[in-house]
């Protein structure tokens, strides 16, 4: 319509009308482009908020799992140190052969850990990390998910040789009792270790301890595993303030 009027005005050399219609034409094109840009920006903002919400959920999952690992690994380390103390001094846990056997077995408990990074990896592989406009948050996520990954994977995902050795030396009836009475997993996100009553006489428990001590590899591997768990505990505890800060920033950036 405007183009028809403009063409007619040009034909008639109506310069005032030409100017008005040209301005209207330019304004219409500008507003159309602006409206398109606004719509695209709204869609991108909505997409960014959706990704931030997913990252927030991933970080909350990690915060919870870190807390659980701290409790669990601390318990495993304590059992391991009790077992090492017996191996080095001959002093039983509370004077009990059974409690000492339990310490050796519980020291082999394993609960590996990895970050919940599915959303971040999706953004990264899709080249969409720019949707996270907060540079501080983006850098923190990179440190958390990428820079620390290769170095800590060995710590958190290790399958210790000690686990294989001690479980191979432990009678099945004793292992079954420990799993039934001294360990609990209410759901996949929780594990707990307990002391429990002996299923065997002290003499039988002492025979198991003697078997442990006759294996030349058991004590060195136990020391290595306890050391690994101790370092893992320090490293994962250092993640707590970083995760809390990232959670605060995701909430702040999720506000429309």
- Taking only the tens place, the pLDDT of each residue in 182-193 is 999 999 889 999
Residue of 37 and 202 predicted with greater confidence: 202
161 Cβ neighbours under 8 A, 6+ residues apart? 217, 221, 224, 225
Give the integer Cα–Cα distance in Å for 161 and 228: 12
E strand or H helix at 66:
helix 15-89
pLDDT of residue 2: 47
Flag whether pLDDT at 115 surpasses 70. yes
Residue-level pLDDT at 251 = 83
The total number of structural domains that make up the chain: 1
pLDDT digits (tens, 9 = 90+) for 14-28: 556 555 555 555 666
pLDDT at 108 over 70: yes
Q: Which run of H or of E encompasses 231?
A: helix 218-254
What domain range includes position 10? 2-254
Is the pLDDT at 95 greater than 90? The verdict is: yes
Q: CB of 39 within 8 A of CB of 46?
A: no
Q: Are 217 and 165 in contact (CB under 8 A)?
A: yes
pLDDT tier, 8 (very low <50, low <70, confident <90, very high otherwise): low
Cα 254–chain centre separation? 21
**Mean pLDDT, the chain, integer:** 87
Question: What is the distance between the alpha carbons of residues 207 and 101, in angstroms, rounded to a whole number?
Answer: 10
Backbone angles phi, psi at 211, to 5 degrees: -65, -40
- Residue ranges of alpha helices (H) inside 109-217 are 118-125, 135-142, 149-157, 161-169, 172-181, 202-214
In the predicted model, what is the mean pLDDT of residues 138-163? 85
């Amino acid at each position: 319509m405007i183009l028809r009027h403009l063409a007619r005005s040009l034909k008639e050399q109506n310069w005032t009308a030409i100017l008005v219609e040209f301005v209207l034409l330019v304004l219409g094109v500008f507003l159309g482009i602006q409206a398109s840009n606004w719509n695209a920006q709204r869609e991108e903002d909505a997409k960014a908020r959706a990704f931030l919400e997913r990252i927030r959920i991933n970080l909350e999952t990690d915060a919870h799992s870190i807390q659980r690992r701290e409790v669990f690994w601390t318990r495993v380390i304590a059992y391991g140190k009790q077992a090492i103390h017996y191996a080095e001094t001959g002093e039983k846990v509370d004077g009990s052969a059974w409690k000492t056997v339990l310490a050796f077995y519980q020291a082999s408990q394993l609960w590996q850990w990895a970050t919940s990074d599915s959303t971040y990896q999706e953004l990264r592989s899709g080249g969409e990390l720019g949707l996270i406009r907060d540079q501080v948050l983006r850098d923190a996520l990179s440190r958390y998910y990428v820079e620390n990954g290769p170095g800590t994977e060995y710590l958190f995902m290790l399958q210790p040789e000690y686990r294989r050795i001690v479980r191979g030396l432990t009678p099945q009836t004793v292992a079954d009792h420990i799993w039934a009475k001294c360990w609990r997993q209410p759901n996949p996100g929780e594990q707990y270790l307990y002391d429990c009553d002996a299923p065997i006489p002290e003499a039988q428990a002492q025979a198991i301890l003697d078997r442990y001590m006759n294996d030349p590899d058991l004590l060195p591997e136990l020391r290595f595993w306890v050391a690994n768990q101790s370092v893992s505990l320090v490293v994962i505890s250092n993640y707590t303030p970083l995760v809390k800060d990232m959670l605060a920033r995701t909430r702040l950036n999720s506000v429309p």
